[in-house]
Chain A
Amino acid sequence: MSIVRMNKISAIGLGTVKAELISELMDLGIVEISSQDSKLTDPDWISYIERDGNENEVLKLDSKISKINTVIESLEKYDNSKSPIFKTRKIISSGEFEKTLSSKDKIEEKVEHIFRLIIELNDLITEENKITANIISLKPWVGYSIPIELGETNYTSIFIGVVPNILGVENLKSRIEEKSKNCVVNLIGSDKDQNYLSILCVKTEKEDVYEVLKQFGFNAVIFKDIEGTAADNIVQYEQEIKVISEKKSSVESEISTFVMNKGDIQLLYDYLLIERDKLKVLNSMLKTKKTFYVNGWIPERSKKSVESVLNKYECWYEFEEPQEGEEYPILLDNSSFVQPFESITELYSLPSSTNVDPTALMSIFYFIFFGLMLADVGYGLIMSIGCYVILKKFNIEGTTKKMFSMFFYCGISTMFWGVMFGSWFGDAITAIAKVMFHTDFVIKPIWINPIDEPMTLLIFSFIIGIIHLFIGMGVKAYIIVRDGHPWEALFDVGFWYGLIIGLALWLFGNSVIPGSAAVGRWMSIIFAIGLILTQGREKKNIFSKLLSGILSLYDITSYLSDVLSYSRLLALGLATGVISSVISVLGSLGGDGIFGSILLIVVLIFGHTFNIAINGLGSFVHAARLQYVEFFGKFYEGGGDMFNPLMKKTKYIKITKEVI
């Protein structure tokens, strides 16, 4: 129920067994290898050792992996089988894994083949785009019947180009006529921006004509590598496109014949990932001519299994406790109920190794808060059943699995509070009974209906909030005592406990236990004086000691706002309940009879789907906020690094040791 204690492990062994050792450690998956950069600059070490590892090999494997990734992605595009909602790793036995790998060369050949096809396909697509662009640029010249490459005859110059169509063509023609009598300007076509013109003039007058054209913003159009008329060329291009698209579909169909090999290729991908990681870890190791040195972290409880492996390969090794205050990687270990809630802790930040794992305490309150805010039997049931089915049906892992298990538990809490508040899909059952069966049927709440008695629930929220805060402060006291400062725990936490309880009694005590207000008043005064005297203890002179002491009482406002923050438990609970009744009212508007019943069912389904989505999200966010801001704020220190052991980090398959 806490952070797993780590030991530092160092080992030295012969270079000949290195590869096998790494491979076995990877199978165990419980050793995190640390980088050794600091030793490489340490003068005591530098004369004996050098960095292990081969960057080039790693890069080579990386490029191979990215190639296979491209292949898998394009195969997925042509895979028509239904893809599952959750991507899960396929479980295969190590025997099966080895068997498939025995034909590794064949698979690699296939990958090469598919990769070539993909390149071919890409080339065809580029070609197609180029031709399409050509067609578009030729389109305006369809009406131009002279071969495009013809620039001149013996006595005439021929050229084509565009002018912006704001200035009229007639205007242009008349201006050219002024300069030259022997010039023909033809309007081939026009679109919303430009006029497309062809000009034919006597060679000697070409300069003059050009001069005029320039004034009209003329831009000559020159087609390279094109012969014949525009229309002929377009026809030819279109034929080429037809050929290309035929080729394209034949290449595509060839690629899609490989879809059935996707499984093998994914296996190869994972195999290469494992091999790459084996090589990569060498970068964090040191070597001499004949030996290697490795250093890392290992959970204290798993020492035995690593010891036996190291003994097998005749390595020298040593385990070390972490030094005082030394940070080590964080692995959380919790009971099966608490474990799913680790995802909430992870979302915030893992604890630093000098702090504590808050998950166990937090999980109970998260469980209560979530249920209290959603509080509906129907919603809880849908959540729990949905999560249960997903967890059973799909082999999901990691944080996603934790999330679903967490919502499974939260669903149970939601049902519990739904029963307490008498909310079964809001009051849908009452509405159905009224519209369809003309009877009055009300499910009574076991405790209270929060809409009728909000004050009761508000006070309950504040009480549960104060308990939550006090536990947070208690954890802070625990950490301070653990670190050897029991007096500080008394001053910083104990006095505040006293002051807050005293104030609460002073203000509200008489309505619960007559006469307790007087006790509360004296408690408040004593503990307030205690705080004034102790909170300035760090300061040097007496005045600033007193001043800081008095100022520390100002913190009472922050405790007040923390407690008020728990009113969201009531507010969000009300939101769910009231929207549910709005849905019922809207659904009942159709009156009774067939039409009314159908309307009611439709409105109920849509309404409650909306409500569960929006208020489920709200409950998730606000339950987390109460933990992160109010609870964690009292003691928590994040920033731990997750324990990241050397293991088979595969993407598509999960290799089991046993033969299935």
Chain B
Amino acid sequence: MDLLLDGLANAATPTNLFFAALGVLLGTAVGVLPGIGPAMSIALLLPITYSVGPDSAIIMFAGIYYGGMYGGSTTSILLNTPGESSSVVTAIEGNKMAKAGRAAQALATAAIGSFVAGTIGTVLLVLLAPTVADVVVKLGAPSYFAIMVLALLAVTTVLGSSKLRGFIALFLGLTIGLVGTTTGQARLTGGQPLLADGIDIVVVAVAIFAIGEALWVAAHLRRKPLEIIPVGQPWMSRADWKRSWAPWLRGTAFGFPFGALPAGGAEVPTFLSYITERKLSKHPEEFGKGAIEGVAGPEAANNASAAGTLVPLLAIGLPTTATAAIILVAFQSYGIQPGPQLFENSGPLVWTLLASLFIANTLLLVLNLPMAPLWAKLLQIPRPYLYAGILFFASLGAYSVNFQAFDLGLLLVFGLLGLAMRRFGIPVLPLIVGVILGPRLEEQLTTALDISGGDVSTLWGEPVAIVVYVVIALILGAVVLGALRKDPETPSVDDRPMARTGAGTSDRGE
């Protein structure tokens, strides 16, 4: 607790509060823009934080993180086309509420619910992360190796409809991670000295998220403009509060544990929260027509799961969502190496970060509720300018790191890969996580075999490793069984529960 108060003291200087506010505003502004999710917001804004000191960068980053997340929910409520899978459920009831003239209440319950869930989630994070780190720090390289294999497998197989496409993404990511000279010899550099240090993950992420998205939108630009619902000052009546508080808490309870699992992500908990609220509601007839519980619960679940993903990220160094992967990159650039040694090695910085999360979360509520009408105006930005702007700022970010035209070339190449991935339905997350974890997987394997003198049996010489391998075997078994059970004549095109609910509700609505 003292440590957290110290962190709070570090974070709450006037300069840092300014950076926090700036981060919240920038993050929200970018996050509200259609086509830009939280991961892309952070990736695009990352270069700006590089030039300020570590404390200021961290608190500004916390602001960007929460701002970007909140911006996404505004978009899905006011436009009925959620940009990322975690907002799908919010859009179901949120957009119906907005159409019924209750946009202000939908935005208010989303914002306050996010605040409640974010605060509780961060408290749980503060309590849990050091404990998990204490346990994990005792593990040896073999266990790490096993846990990383599990994480790679989990992000590849648990989410997404096509396992084959998940593995394609994963191994493309691992290939990108091979580039460079970490092993002492140049691998896959094609003799290009600029590739000797490997490919910068920021360049890969910005290219796949931003350039890929811009090119994909260019191929399918909506010719008729979307209907945007005007909104006034967000507020809630006493009845809205009464109907919102329990869903907020239940959503938090769903979101945090799912976020903390290695195969985290907000899809499952937001969906579970939605079904629960529909079952428990005293107004079940309102579901499908704009029930406030259907916005309050999933939005809280979404934010709590975002806090939950920080547990494996900080304590083990494992990114489990695209946003977490970008956060990992950000931390490394601030000199924080997430992992079990984190709390010992860079204690003050981590506690500053955790304190910053509280501050950013509060500032978000204070700044964004009054500014909602302004954010709604951002949705009307002409699409040519929006996507031209995304290309512009993506290029600026990639160029400003090394001033190399070569990096811009890489940006284009991986942007085209991102376009192809969208065209062929290849998920982005396994690729990004593969790029990050691939080199570390090799490193842990080397360390493990180094210690054992080349004896391979060391890999299953620790109890934790054995347990993890059993889990891996179970997952692989389930994947193989699932593949065999399918009728070969009708390969699964869609077995995601999320997509079905999305389709079901939009069918009902239109």
User: Does B associate with A?
Assistant: no
